[in-house]
Amino acid sequence: MIKHDFLIIGSGLAGLTYALKVAKRFPEKKVAIVTKAAANESNTKYAQGGMAVVIDTVTDSYEQHIEDTLMAGDGLCDREIVEMVVREAPDRLKELLSWGAEFDKNNLGDFDLGREGGHSQNRILHHKDITGFELEETLLDQVAQCDNISLLSHHFAVDLITNHHIQEWKGREDNKCYGAYVLDEKTGKIETYLSKIVLLASGGIGQVYQNTTNPKVATGDGVAMAYRAKAQIQNMEFVQFHPTALYDTRPGQTFLISEAVRGFGALLRNRKGELFMGQYDERKELASRDIVSRAIDSELKKSGDDYVYLDCRHLDPIGFENHFPNILQKCKELGIDWKKDMIPVVPAAHYLCGGVVTNAFGQTQIANLYACGECACTGLHGANRLASNSLLEALIFAHHCYEKSCEEVESVEENAKVPDWSEEGTTNPKELILITHNKKEVQAIMSNYVGIVRSDERLNRASNRLKVLYEETEDLYKKTKISPQLSELRNLITIAYLIVKQSQARTENRGGFYKEA
């Protein structure tokens, strides 16, 4: 058994920020970050656009950022949370700058503020078009300087340890978290990580769909573990589809063309070259992304085409190339010359607005278990996240989790008799290919029946198909030694089930959720 004071599951912006803060506050306490791939592999790393912060209160205001967030969230945001996040943003930004993060500046030396869909003002801080990468690297550098943090890459959290695992406390009303069972991918052993405080910061779920902007690691592990541990999971029907992923026939992670490109003036055209956004929303290309994604979906259904175009040909070349070098490099690699060619784009699964329900301090319903970042449902996003609010949310909630858990950590009792993981009755998997097949089936079901526009009929079909996969996979799970692939498959099936079930339960269309009558 390995004992820590703070255990963090996930190494994106939320997890690293929290780890850094608790480690600095308590140099004598032990902090562990477990992360299932390389340390920097997370949704954070791929965030292009940036971070929304009200910097200039002459041209912008907190009220406007609050209103934009509420409008995108379509009536389901928690106003108090929105106000808290928007108003605390400058403090968190200062801290981030003090850790060495850099954001682009204009010729006057002021922050170069970009614009994205749903924002009434330019307020997106960015580092070229690789903002998330910059933040991830900054935080990893800081974490590396803390002797009391163990950053354990290729360590897969299989399950949270709660009362359910403790013989004498099974069935108790109050539930507590004691740590997690973690698979060390090098040794193949599942170790018991005990911890006074556990933070889930395990990111998104994009891999439940065939086409996603999310990396391979985004398999919803944290949400699925929390669901198994009986935490409250909410708003899973609000999966945000990014309107403009680069069209690519290969399945897997799809390259994102940042919304900031439309903020810079790029236009959407159908295959005939016609502008179409004006028919859908008066804000045209800068409508919130649920509206733009649905508009593209509708154009594609009408025309039978596979993609629409993003037209950048009219944009100022110096400014454009300076802001978006990474995107333009990718286009170049694919033989797209942006000055002459339009860029083929399609919507792709991008962000989960729901997740593990928390309060303003990131506390879940399970004692000593916190959640923050994309896996959490904090009340900020409601039915649809406003662009570039997610890195901000990760920072604000990491700070709140830190404040609350620092109060709590001293009083956590360590009297639970936690058993080690038992592999009794399991054998090595004979055919890993069955796991791969089932994963592909889940992704196909979700893409075919649970996409941008849903219907009860399609959801029922998805639900029936998922049941079969669930039973097969649970059977495999009982007999087989745990592998990351099997765990991810189980988690993806859980996520798919939650999205379908919560979509079936929703009777009115809001934000990113649209069900045909």
Q: State how beta strands 267-269 and 233-234 pair.
A: unpaired
Nearer to ligand SIN, 72 or 143 (CB): 72
DSSP per-residue codes, 81-133: HHHHHHHHHHHHHHHHHHTT----B-TTSSB--B--TT-SS--EE-STT-HHH
The total of other beta-carbon atoms located within 10 Å of residue 187's CB is: 8
Sign of the four-CA dihedral 492, 493, 494, 495: positive
Q: How far is the CB of 486 from ligand SIN (least distance, A)?
A: 30
Catalytic residue among 92, 115, 123, 289: 289
Q: How far is the CB of 387 from ligand SIN (least distance, A)?
A: 4
Tokens for 364, please give them: 């879940």
**Closest by CA position to 51, among listed 8, 112, 120, 142:** 112
For residue 241, give every residue at least 6 positions away whose Cβ sits within 8 Å of its Cβ, in sequence order, or none.
289, 290, 293, 347, 348, 349, 350, 451, 452, 512
Nearer to ligand SIN, 263 or 484 (CB): 263
Q: State how beta strands 233-234 and 239-246 pair.
A: unpaired
**What residues does 193 pair with on adjacent strands?**
2, 180
Q: How far is the CB of 204 from ligand SIN (least distance, A)?
A: 10
- Residue 211, classed as helix, strand or coil, is strand
Q: Are 508 and 233 in contact (CB under 8 A)?
A: no
Nearer to ligand SIN, 47 or 236 (CB): 47
| 289 in active site | yes
Q: How far is the CB of 126 from ligand SIN (least distance, A)?
A: 8
Tokens for 395, please give them: 């920072």
Nearer to ligand SIN, 258 or 487 (CB): 258
Give the residue closest to ligand SIN by C-beta. 49
**What residues does 245 pair with on adjacent strands?**
256, 346
Nearer to ligand SIN, 9 or 260 (CB): 260
Q: Are 449 and 499 in contact (CB under 8 A)?
A: no
Q: State how beta strands 233-234 and 355-357 pair.
A: antiparallel
Q: How far is the CB of 128 from ligand SIN (least distance, A)?
A: 11
Nearer to ligand SIN, 368 or 388 (CB): 388
Q: How far is the CB of 338 from ligand SIN (least distance, A)?
A: 17
Nearer to ligand SIN, 351 or 370 (CB): 351
- State the residue for tokens 């923050």: 372
Can you give the binding site for ligand SIN, defined by CB under 6 A?
47-49, 258-260, 351, 387-388, 390
Q: How far is the CB of 329 from ligand SIN (least distance, A)?
A: 16
Active site (catalytic) residues: 289
